[in-house]
Amino acid sequence: MMKQQRGSGLLFHPSPKQAKRELTEHLQQRATVIVAKTTEEQRAAMQEAARLAFRSEANGQAETLMKAIRAEAAQVSKGFGPPMATYAGIAVVSAVLGAALVKLFGAA
């Protein structure tokens, strides 16, 4: 790399050792920048992949849960139909019969 000396129109030619040192420093700086960018890009890509995997897994689990809740809700709504009325009727008849028997035979 040639540098122009201040105040003169002459070009300054660095020694081979100085040129090598400057080139090495420049390459190290560039490598540091590239590694930092690459690391940041990899981190961002891994975060996005994790985000997508979580969304996919969470959606699948939510869907399974909703199916189970709907199935249970259907079972519960069926349970309050005729079978429940039958059980309530049996309970009332049993209570009336029990009260009648106690009245007939008295308490012992």
| Residue with more model confidence, 56 or 83 | 56
Q: What is the pLDDT of residue 33?
A: 87
Q: What would the pLDDT profile of 15-32 be if each residue is shown by its tens digit?
A: 888 888 888 999 899 988
Using pLDDT thresholds of 50, 70 and 90, give the confidence band for residue 81.
low
Is 54 part of any domain? Answer: yes
Does 2 map to a domain? Answer: no
The pair of three-digit structure tokens given for residue 28, joined into one six-digit string: 């190290």
Q: Say yes or no to pLDDT of 3 above 60.
A: no
pLDDT single digits (tens) 54-64: 877 777 788 88
Averaged pLDDT for residues 56-79: 79
Half-sphere exposure of 80 (CA within 13 A, CB side): 5
Say if 108 falls within a structural domain: no
pLDDT for 29-39, tens place per residue?
998 888 888 88
Q: How many structural domains comprise the chain?
A: 1
* DSSP one-letter code for 80: T
Q: Is the pLDDT of residue 82 over 70?
A: no
- pLDDT, position 9: 56
The rounded distance, in Å, linking the Cα atoms of 50 and 44 is: 10
Contact 1, 20 (CB under 8 A): no
* Distances 14 to 30, 53, 86 between C-alpha atoms, Å: 21, 55, 105
Look up the domain containing 25 and give its range.
14-102
